[in-house]
Chain A
Amino acid sequence: MKKITLGLISSFAIALLPFQSIAALNNGELKIGITQEFENLNPLIMTMSATTYIYSMVGRSLVTLDADGRWVTQLAKQIPSLENGQAKFSTDKKQIIAIWEILENAKWGDGKPITCEDFKFSLEVASNPNVSVGEKETFTQVKAIEWDPKNPKKCTFTYEKARWDFYQLTGFKPLPKHIEEPVYKKYGSQKEGYEKNSNYNKNPTLEGLYNGPYKIAEVKLGSHVTLIPNPQFYGKQPHIKKVIVKLIPNTGTLEANLRSGTIDTVSSLGFTFDQAIAFEKKVKSENLPFEVMFKPSITYEHIDLNLENPILKDVRVRKALVYAINREELVQALFDGKQQVAIHNIAPLDPWYTADPKKITLYPYSKREASRLLDEAGWKLEKDGLRYKDGKKLSLLFMTTAGNKNRETVQTFLQGQWKAVGIEVNIKNEPARVFFGETTKKRKFGAMAMYAWVSSPENNPKSTLHSSNIPSEKNGYSGQNNMGYVNKKVDELCEKIETEFNPKTRTDLVHQVLKYYTDEVPVIPLYYRSDVAVRPTQLTNFRLPGHQHAETNEIENWDIK
């Protein structure tokens, strides 16, 4: 006991000790802390968020989504559209043909111009069954790339299908054909032969592999990446002369690293939300030279309801579950109001968002309404404070990822609110690997599963709502409609959204889906997560995007004053 007391006293004493002042920064060097691992930087193969974060400093796409949520050009001169005449339907109207013109001064780090050949080569590599590209459709949505040999920077892309989002080609990154083709020719016929022998793997510091504002000076997987300005970059030269991205795998020591000057800033892949809240308080109380930034994101924290559960088959019970929870109080009490209440699966940052009660059904907190619906459904309140129907207790299993502090706190909060209307909720949590790898995938979560969806703005909800995406043995458990939601109308709407070119009509279609979504409650929306990062006050022009396109897409604007 004495030992524990001593330990507690000494920790408390350490926490109270004043920290030394933090050294002033300059444009000579910026050390960014991340807590997530990164892989090799081959843009076709990479899948990790941290790799995308780093790659955005060294490689650019034709277009990207900026921090304001607008599609902007990077390597392209302009975004082709039907309106500007740079895109048109094929004669049978089944395909789209778009002209993508690459910037005249867009070059690889070794000075070779980026041309249509590099994009065609990228498509060729990605289409090879021996290359393990994750989301292949990003590339194969383009059927052919052609150009006039007199102007190798003006490419004609013929798309496989006429889809409205044909211009959202952020994942379609070019490969430097003059460097990678010999490797591909030699190893492309072997299983994973190309990626194992690619220069991104064997010679990652080769400057010709990159076309962004920086190039790689040093890369140590599992430790750090050092970046220096790329003089061949098509845009303005970055202000910061050296950037070091440092992996600090333990979020607990991230703050100490920041305060000791081992790192200067914490990226959006650093602090957990609760750590950021705690650090913000310290920044204010100790007057530290940092700003803790919170940006509402499109990441959607929700509870999937298992629609095969006999109790949850009744929509009145599902509605009662939503009415019974006070989400406003939840975000205020647990997140200092820094995360927004979710009303459906589309976040306010998304142009498709609506909170119009004429278009969707809203569920303001109402214990009375929840009780009324449960009574109507035949679940009667008994003396023990719980509800019963035909002798069966209204009891639901509630699962999430074990060890996630935020989620476990939310669970306890919700459990209390449901108990207040007579619903017994039993918590059973599992390690993330089991929860996602087995339980949600095979829809074994009993009644309720809480987790988050990460998506992009204007993302067709087909993958989570279309009945063909209910995970089953037949489809190799690959869909993401874990609720088992089946609605023919929603299926049709999702399919229509894909090919609707009129933005207004498309938004109307999305809102019709949202109407069904909020009426039929296959999911309980909880809150939209906020992205967090720590910016030293000297660092200017740093913006958090709140979506999957990293803040480093604008790194050339960062300036230390």
Chain B
Amino acid sequence: MTSFILRRLFQTLVVIVLLSYFCYTLMTLMPGDPVELMIQSNPKITSEDVTRLRQLYGLDQPTYVRYFNWVKTIAQGDLGYSRTYRVPVSEIMGPKLINTMVLSISSMILSLLIAIPLGVIAALRAGTRWDYLVNFFAFAGISIPSFWLGIVLIIIFAVLLHILPAGGTFTVGLENITTFQMLLDRAKYLILPVLSLAYMEIGIFLRFTRSAMLEAMRNDYIRTAKAKGLSYWTVVWGHGFRNALLPLITVITMSFAHVFAGATISETVFAYQGVGKLVYDSIISNDFNVAMVSFMISVTMVLVFNLIADILYGVADPRITYK
């Protein structure tokens, strides 16, 4: 097991390095550069300004030189400087990354808490009115665009009922408050984005849970377990659900891997200070350092969660071994 993990970690590192160079090259191939954006907003910028700025930013260097310069900076523990915001990347990204994690993990937990029991019940009551209702709920979640749901939630809870804020991350200007009050304030701003994000995830997890459970409950070992006189819920959870876990682990770990970038739309609609929109903007505005750091985090998360999924397969199913 240890050698398996070490081997996979090494492979992960190699993949990260190769992909980072590939992505860096792709970014340089995109039309425009940060200086280009300055020209668009200021027609008074002269050709001398353009040449000077390109030299200063190192944009006149070949891609591989720029890439190695970037790697050198990263290796020194410096994430670089954002050309859009004119601040160090760590300064702008750190707090936003935490906010996104809080938003994504909260919505993930909420969606799992709702989707798994509903999915199991729908599978056990397949073909009944209850199953149709749960399926309708799931399909609605999958098909309703999150930005639309977000706007509807804002209109209902912020504009009409005035019980939740329309957008933001916390109340600006709150002074002399306790940590608990601060947490409550933050929670108030999380409710609507979490709901809009979770609803889509509920739909997906619910459908996967239902189909995996349906499949698992048809197996011979379920009949055997029932014949052994085990209680209904022991059969369902101990035998059925455990065997349904494998496909669920794949979907859930992959969803965790994408929490980083998955909240972009919700963050934009709710003006939530997350990293999703930052990543999008950095790619659009050729803010290389921000884009590359976010890319690195994203790739690392996908690879690490893949590894976690592989490990969890073994935990869920003892028949799986690692060599």
Residue A201 interfacial (CB < 8 Å):
yes
Stretch at the interface among B102-110, B159-167, B179-187, B200-208: B159-167
Residue A242 interfacial (CB < 8 Å):
yes
- Annotate A1-35 by CB proximity to B: 1 below 8 A, 0 otherwise: 00100010011001001011000000001000000
Contact B85 A433 (CB under 8 A): no
Contact A222 B269 (CB under 8 A): no
Q: Give the residue name and chain of the B residue nearest to A46 (CB).
A: B86
Given pairs A7-B148, A222-B92, A479-B47, 13 additional interface contacts (CB within 8 A): A3-B143, A19-B160, A37-B84, A49-B41, A132-B53, A134-B49, A136-B48, A136-B52, A223-B271, A249-B268, A253-B151, A433-B30, A476-B51
Contact B159 A201 (CB under 8 A): no
Contact A201 B281 (CB under 8 A): no
Contact A222/B172 with A39-B85, A476-B54 known, Cβ cut-off 8 Å: no
Partner of B273, one of A29, A220, A459, A463: A220
- How far does the alpha carbon of A191 sit from the alpha carbon of B81 in the complex, in Å? 12
Chain A hits for B172, CB < 8 A: 218, 224, 226, 244, 246
A-B interface pairs (CB < 8 A), number:
182
B interface residues with partner A (beta carbon < 8 Å): 30-33, 36, 38-54, 56-57, 81, 84-88, 92, 96, 140, 143-144, 147-148, 150-152, 154-156, 158-160, 162, 165-169, 172-173, 268-271, 273, 277-278, 281, 284
Residue A441 interfacial (CB < 8 Å):
yes
- How far does the alpha carbon of A475 sit from the alpha carbon of B54 in the complex, in Å? 13
Contact B271 A250 (CB under 8 A): yes
Shortest beta-carbon distance from B301 to chain A in Å: 21
From B81, B144, B271, residue with most partner A Cβ within 10 Å: B271
Q: Give the residue name and chain of the A residue nearest to B158 (CB).
A: A260
Contact A257 B167 (CB under 8 A): yes
Partner of B81, one of A136, A192, A218, A262: A192
- How far does the alpha carbon of A56 sit from the alpha carbon of B166 in the complex, in Å? 28
Partner of A260, one of B42, B47, B166: B166
Q: Give the residue name and chain of the A residue nearest to B164 (CB).
A: A260
- How far does the alpha carbon of A312 sit from the alpha carbon of B43 in the complex, in Å? 25
A to B CB contacts below 8 Å, 23 in the list: A14-B155, A39-B85, A40-B87, A129-B56, A134-B53, A136-B46, A136-B49, A222-B92, A222-B96, A222-B273, A222-B278, A226-B172, A250-B147, A252-B269, A257-B166, A262-B168, A433-B32, A437-B32, A437-B33, A464-B43, A478-B50, A480-B39, A480-B43
Contact A475 B31 (CB under 8 A): no
Residue A427 interfacial (CB < 8 Å):
no
Contact A256/B166 with A136-B49, A244-B173 known, Cβ cut-off 8 Å: yes
Contact A248 B271 (CB under 8 A): yes
Chain B hits for A455, CB < 8 A: 43
Contact A19/B56 with A256-B154, A433-B31 known, Cβ cut-off 8 Å: no
10 A-B pairs with the lowest CB-CB distances in the bound complex, closest first: A437-B32, A437-B31, A438-B31, A478-B47, A260-B158, A478-B50, A260-B166, A262-B166, A40-B86, A39-B86
Chain A hits for B167, CB < 8 A: 248, 253, 257, 262
Shortest beta-carbon distance from A284 to chain B in Å: 19
- How far does the alpha carbon of A35 sit from the alpha carbon of B81 in the complex, in Å? 23
Interface positions, chain A 422-467, Cβ under 8 Å from B, are: 433-434, 436-438, 441, 453-455, 459, 463-464
Chain B hits for A10, CB < 8 A: 152
Contact A242/B31 with A20-B162, A192-B81, A253-B151 known, Cβ cut-off 8 Å: no
Contact B281 A37 (CB under 8 A): yes
Shortest beta-carbon distance from A187 to chain B in Å: 12
Residue A303 interfacial (CB < 8 Å):
no
Shortest beta-carbon distance from A441 to chain B in Å: 7
Interface positions, chain A 452-497, Cβ under 8 Å from B, are: 453-455, 459, 463-464, 475-476, 478-480
Contact B154 A253 (CB under 8 A): yes
Q: Give the residue name and chain of the A residue nearest to B143 (CB).
A: A3
- How far does the alpha carbon of A48 sit from the alpha carbon of B285 in the complex, in Å? 12
- How far does the alpha carbon of A138 sit from the alpha carbon of B45 in the complex, in Å? 10
Partner of B57, one of A132, A220, A434: A132
Contact A201 B87 (CB under 8 A): yes
Shortest beta-carbon distance from B46 to chain A in Å: 6
Interface positions, chain A 217-253, Cβ under 8 Å from B, are: 218, 220-224, 226, 242, 244, 246-250, 252-253
Chain B hits for A248, CB < 8 A: 167, 271
Contact A191/B42 with A224-B172, A262-B166 known, Cβ cut-off 8 Å: no
